[in-house]
Structure 1
């Protein structure tokens, strides 16, 4: 069994990582490292440093803290010979992720940059279907309510928090996975609240060998949430809906199933550890970085959390 610890124990760790680990016989959860949260029956430490000192037998860590602090945590764990699972996005900057990739290779341990949306039920069959079609256009509509998903989380509006790109990078992780050809940013508009550092809405235009790819991103959608990707092809329209959990071909539901994104991630992590490999795909983060570098910023009304 892979002896593992969770570092940071907030909502994503409780709701997704914990049940995925408990239901996978490849893992034994040894400890939690968190300043403010613990779990009955599991050893608890305030910091990763304390954890690593107390448990040399540990094989791996899953880092669930915000990306602004993830590099130092990953660097420390890798230096102690631990395999590292990185929540998305894998780092606050591309340079950080590159440095960690080199460190993991030198240390001979696994580094896994996880993209959970790629493990949604409809994504693999969508990739296979598109591989045999000619793609004509792509439309991404990723709209959710930040007050529902990140209530009171001020870090998301600070540098490194990514704002609307925190959820939208999930869409980019899917599109970079299912499209057979690479694509590049041509134009972007970022709407930034006057009291924030990160955008609350964005519109992106990409190109892939003449194929237009449009993205409409919104962090202020109320009511039903929208996580849809439409791909027009020579054989009709493919739609991934509800974050990739539903696959439609020409309006007909072809694939749907339970949420197995994080269980899929941990299966992959175990495979990588046993094969002595790493998996660090930075393509989704590259597109976000391009948007910040190349996008036109527009100041909009201040954001109030309540």
Structure 2
């Protein structure tokens, strides 16, 4: 495929307006946005439909689909797109369950099309330099602090508090996607406490403890309640000093010295990767971050906290 890939977006919301549309426009040699499907929103000057079925029927020439609806509703749409022979990008998290994603991966392989489980935070400018540094400097301990005000970042989004919406793991999974990319050995959960507001079905905070086969400890704190001290930080102690990723991977410090990094372009890099996968006839379906979330719900102690009202 040498011409621009005809792309559609399913599930138009804030992340699509803020990230997907500008990234697609910037990669015009790779993608041409030709349609959208969403119950409530459209994109100016792009044909819009209220269902993926109507969109695919009207535009059989679509080559690929980016699925950006909440994870609870993604499986059915992904299955329809794959069945129609379309390449599929899954916004994070790739599904509501690990079993769903495994089924989609097998179906994509059967249909001979690309499935891309995208993790945008892995494309932050500090992530690959951090990975290279940790490959040469053995970690001895890791501390993660991922704290933000849910009212600022997810105002009035009821789906995120419902079963399958992940609650605080919606941002927290971004930290897990970075950890599983930069750490030189696999980690596994040993204990967890999940704080559920008494009127919600998803956690507002999580305290997680991991270790790896070498007994290196990883402690992660996710919290949606801060209104002033927000931060997205990963601090790694190594045999050669300290590595600090801040601002969700946008900035990197090694032994107190700020590192020169490329300009932030997470979604631009995602779409570059998606185009490369399509043209190579490959898929990329890494579920390691989602597996850690599933382990937390399996192993975590549930703690009731005060009701949350948006």
- For the pair 1:89 / 2:107, whether they are aligned, the reply is no
Residue 182 of structure 1 is aligned with which of 168, 179, 186?
A: 186
Partners in 2 of 1:257 and 1:177 — Cα distance?
18
CA RMSD of aligned residues (A): 0.7
The equivalences for 1:4-19 within 5 A come to: 4-19=7-22
Tell me the residue number matched to 1:35.
39
CA shift for structure 1 position 187: 0.5
Q: Is the 8 A contact 1:246 1:257 kept in 2?
A: no
CA shift for structure 1 position 135: 1.0
- For the pair 1:79 / 2:86, whether they are aligned, the reply is no
CA shift for structure 1 position 37: 1.1
Q: Is the 8 A contact 1:241 1:247 kept in 2?
A: yes
- For the pair 1:281 / 2:279, whether they are aligned, the reply is no
Tell me the residue number matched to 1:128.
132
The equivalences for 1:159-174 within 5 A come to: 159-174=163-178
Partners in 2 of 1:201 and 1:39 — Cα distance?
34
Greater alpha carbon shift after TM alignment, 215-224 vs 193-202? 215-224
Please give the TM-score of this superposition, normalised by the length of structure 2.
0.97
- For the pair 1:220 / 2:225, whether they are aligned, the reply is yes
Q: Is the 8 A contact 1:146 1:219 kept in 2?
A: yes
Partners in 2 of 1:184 and 1:130 — Cα distance?
18
CA shift for structure 1 position 294: 0.2
Tell me the residue number matched to 2:298.
293
Partners in 2 of 1:255 and 1:300 — Cα distance?
42
Q: Aligned with 1:137: secondary structure? A: strand
Q: Aligned with 1:304: secondary structure? A: coil
Residue 262 of structure 1 is aligned with which of 244, 263, 267?
A: 267
Tell me the residue number matched to 1:21.
24
Partners in 2 of 1:132 and 1:156 — Cα distance?
39
CA shift for structure 1 position 134: 1.4
**Cα pair distance change 1:223/1:258, threshold 3 Å:** farther
CA shift for structure 1 position 224: 4.2
Please give the TM-score of this superposition, normalised by the length of structure 1.
0.98
Greater alpha carbon shift after TM alignment, 253-262 vs 216-225? 253-262
CA shift for structure 1 position 48: 0.5
Which 4+ runs in 1 deviate beyond 6 A? none
Q: Aligned with 2:232: secondary structure? A: strand
CA shift for structure 1 position 223: 1.9
Q: Is the 8 A contact 1:61 1:85 kept in 2?
A: yes
- For the pair 1:233 / 2:238, whether they are aligned, the reply is yes
Aligned residues: 305
1:70-92 deviation digits (Å, cap 9, x = unpaired): 00000000000000000000000
Partners in 2 of 1:34 and 1:65 — Cα distance?
8
Q: Is the 8 A contact 1:188 1:295 kept in 2?
A: yes
Partners in 2 of 1:181 and 1:168 — Cα distance?
20
Q: Is the 8 A contact 1:83 1:111 kept in 2?
A: yes
Tell me the residue number matched to 1:197.
201
Question: Which residues of structure 1 form unaligned runs of 5+?
Answer: none
1:102-121 deviation digits (Å, cap 9, x = unpaired): 00000000000000000001
Q: Aligned with 1:131: secondary structure? A: helix
